[in-house]
Chains A and B, each alone.
Chain A
Amino acid sequence: MSRITKRATAAIAVAAVAGLALAGCSTDTSSEGADGEVVLTMSGWADDGIAEALIAQFEEDNPGVTIDYTGLPWPNILTQINTELVSGTASDIVVVFPGNGNPITAQTLAKGNYLADLSDSPWVSNYNEANQAVMGADGTILMGANAFTIIPAIYNTQALEAVGATPPTTWSEVLDLCKTATDNGKVAYALAAVAGGNYHTVPYALTATLLYGPDPDFVPDQYAGDATFSDSDWNAALDQYTELIDAGCFTADATGTALDIAQGQVAKGDALGMITVSPQISTIQDMAPDGATFETAAFPSTDDPADTFLPVGLGAGYGVNAKSENLDLAKKFVDFYLSEAGLRIAVDNGSIYPSGPVDGYTPPETLAGVSDQVQSDKTVSFPDQTWPNAVVNDAYTTGLQTFIGGSTTAATLLQQMDAAWNG
């Protein structure tokens, strides 16, 4: 081989490798199929039956449009969608969380203008002011969600009947239920205090009635510097948490108990109930033996049932990639997703509480116990959705584990949360 030929071969080889590498890193920006049909891309949850049904209907309603759906599991969904948005390779429609607690929340992504402004969408008026505040940033709406997530106490009906109890409506009844459960060789409430467990939802349920419900100005006061966690009724909530622990209301050694173990305790009736987010009801049902039924009730923290507020937060939903080549079509899908027709598909294909009106909708039996409270709006947002950064949530969840384990006091935990709030 001559020197010139060798050089030419080498140059071609390097160019080919570089070309292949660059091609591997680039995104196919073409959104038009071979026969002229438009292809929308969408990144959502793995095995999401509601999304599948919505896509099928949208494709039927819009001939020539195909949605290429990528299902992602937790927690990969956080890192993958964030990385793709930052690198400009994200799908046209992406999962977005409300608030400010993870890498794909509306307020986090607003910093880089990665999401299209959806403020003029027809569904925005379905949400109250508190919800709209966490759906975007600086007055713009960047995402919409089709369901509310509720934090009720979920009870195993047969287990309650077996010990002759009913869902408590007052704090005293809660403590009575704990004793009844213990006397019958069970625990009242399953608790998982490893990361990803339900341990952080208990203070949310308690502060709903003790703080956020009666004092709706608490969060604005915090932002104004006029209120802190340390000087608030978070103290009372954590005292009640301690009282519940000391009364044997929870799973023993909860700090070593994973969420699926705790869910299994409720499913099998070893625990009478569990204070956790409503989407876990279906998981618990799947784990339960045939014939087991479940019901929900707001968790009280005073002796007057009329005082009780229910934590209700907006769940994860969808936003539109600001760099989408099919911006209008992607927005059209989100409009459909949050239209009455889209919400109807969602309630027909999943056990959810819709975020907008659905004519003739009746909540699933499991959520009937909290339905009146949701409809009368005796609810508060999830506290973490109102916090200014994800560090407060990290201080809360990390410190709460040691609080439950007994090595951190309420005062220390709340000081750490205040410090995180102040950055």
Chain B
Amino acid sequence: MAIATAVRLNEAPKKRRRYRGFASSVWWFVLPALALYVFAVVYPSIRGSLFAFTDWDGVSPNPSWVGLDQFARILTDPNAVVAVRNTLLIAFAVTIIQNAIGLLIALAVNSQIKSRNVLRVIIFAPVVITSIAVGFLWQNLYSPGGGINQLLEAIGLGALQQNWLGDPDLAIWSIIFVVFWQFVGYSMVIFLAGLQGIPEEVLEAAAIDGAGPVRRFWSVVRPLLAPAITINVMLSLIGGLKLFDQVFVMTAGGPGGATNTISTLIYSNAFSLGRFGYASALAVVLSIFVAVASIIQYRLLALQER
């Protein structure tokens, strides 16, 4: 016994040394990936951000340092004001609508209805289509003689026909609907995974205690879905803030700049107008928006998860 104890005592330091050696080798394995990440992501991001402090036009070899002028210009550029407003509108509208409807659909297809698997596939299908293709599809459907107006005419609602992408007041909402249509299935799948992780017996116990469907949802399902809500809200908010493809394809920011987002404004300033410095300043602002929004909502939702 004493010998065995002595052996165990002797083994303990050996195990610790082996662990330290293992940890050390893990870092060596991480280093190449880290070096690649710094080379491919960190360095270009910092280098790109520095252009925000210059007047670089994208071609001249020697841009001048202009300090914070490009950031000050954002505040006085009417196009930037519209783009920031649209970006925030899209981000919040998409986040709220997509998650609310996505949750309702997840609750519906999580039931025992016979066609639930078919419904899940149909609702998720738009997620796997590229955003460019979705943009072209809906641009066609939204055109004045397109599918939506034809459908309205066919069902006797011709008075509701609209110039969906040509009306400056309506175009931004037409785009929001497309983003919702494309990604509601994504939210649904995450909520569905969360719902399927809730033990049936917990819900049964709540029912036996007299909780109705609304009470069960609010007091049992909602708290247990908190991680799924956190992920969904964060992804849809970030996606909304960065939105580019659908806007670029359907309206290119028009009519008259009415649907510009920060992303489309970055593109047009950099690649059409030769204002790379200004575009970089807009990109820095967008990055700050995404970071701040993500941190705030993550902390709020983390509190809820507790």
Contacts and interface: CB of A to CB of B under 8 A. Distances in A.
The answer to whether A and B interact is yes
Interface of A: 1, 6, 9-10, 13-14, 16-18, 21, 75, 78-79, 82, 85-86, 102-103, 108-109, 111-114, 193-196, 251-258, 261, 389-391, 394, 398-399, 401-402, 405, 407-408
Contacts of B253: 195
Given A102-B272, A255-B166, A402-B168, A21 B39 contact: yes
Contact of A108 (B28, B251, B274): B274
B145 to A, nearest CB: 7
Given A398-B257, A407-B256, A408-B256, A9 B28 contact: yes
B40 interface: yes
B34 to A, nearest CB: 9
Between B24, B40, B58, B257, the greatest number of chain A beta carbons within 10 A of the residue's beta carbon is seen for B58
A195 B59 contact: no
Nearest to B258: A402
Between B145, B256, B274, the greatest number of chain A beta carbons within 10 A of the residue's beta carbon is seen for B256
B197 interface: no
B164 interface: yes
A21 B36 contact: yes
Contacts of A261: 140, 143, 145-146
A261 B25 CA distance: 62
A108 B58 CA distance: 9
The 6 closest A-B pairs by CB, nearest first: A256-B166, A255-B166, A195-B252, A402-B256, A253-B144, A112-B59
Interface in B32-61: 32, 35-36, 39-40, 57-61
A194 B252 contact: yes
B256 A394 contact: no
Between A78, A79, A195, the greatest number of chain B beta carbons within 10 A of the residue's beta carbon is seen for A195
13 contacts: A9-B28, A10-B31, A13-B28, A18-B35, A103-B58, A194-B139, A255-B165, A256-B165, A261-B140, A261-B146, A389-B274, A390-B273, A402-B255
A202 to B, nearest CB: 16
A394 B273 contact: yes
B167 interface: yes
A18 B39 contact: yes
A401 B166 CA distance: 9
Contacts of B36: 17, 21
B218 interface: no
Contact of B32 (A1, A14, A113, A390): A14
Nearest to A9: B28
B142 interface: yes
Contacts of A257: 143-144, 166
B304 interface: no
B166 A108 contact: no
Contacts of B145: 261
B163 interface: yes
Nearest to A264: B145
Contacts of A86: 58-59
Contact of A194 (B61, B165, B167): B165
Nearest to B36: A17
B126 interface: no
A79 B271 contact: yes
B256 A6 contact: no
Contact of A398 (B31, B142, B143, B256): B256
B59 A255 contact: no
A257 B256 CA distance: 14
B255 A82 contact: no
B230 interface: no
Contacts of B144: 251-253, 256-257
Contacts of B35: 14, 17-18, 21
A369 B163 CA distance: 35
A391 B269 CA distance: 9
Interface string B212-233: 0000000000000000000000
A405 B256 CA distance: 9
B187 to A, nearest CB: 29
A60 B10 CA distance: 82
Contact of B274 (A1, A193, A390): A390
Contacts of B146: 261
Contacts of A407: 168, 256
Contacts of A108: 57-59, 274
A92 B31 CA distance: 38
A114 B57 CA distance: 14
B273 A10 contact: no
Contacts of A114: 59
A103 B272 contact: yes
A23 B143 CA distance: 47
A195 B251 contact: yes
Contacts of A1: 25
Between A109, A112, A113, the greatest number of chain B beta carbons within 10 A of the residue's beta carbon is seen for A112
B268 interface: yes
A108 B143 CA distance: 35
Interface string B128-162: 00000000000110111110000000000000000
Given A13-B28, A14-B35, A194 B271 contact: no
A9 B31 CA distance: 12
B272 A256 contact: no
A149 B59 CA distance: 27
Given A255-B166, A256-B166, A407-B168, A13 B31 contact: yes
Contact of A254 (B25, B40, B166, B257): B166
Nearest to A7: B28
Given A85-B59, A86-B59, A256-B167, 18 more contacts: A6-B24, A14-B35, A17-B36, A109-B59, A114-B59, A194-B139, A195-B251, A252-B144, A253-B144, A253-B163, A256-B165, A256-B166, A258-B140, A258-B143, A261-B145, A389-B274, A398-B257, A402-B168
B272 A394 contact: yes
Nearest to B170: A256
A196 B252 CA distance: 9
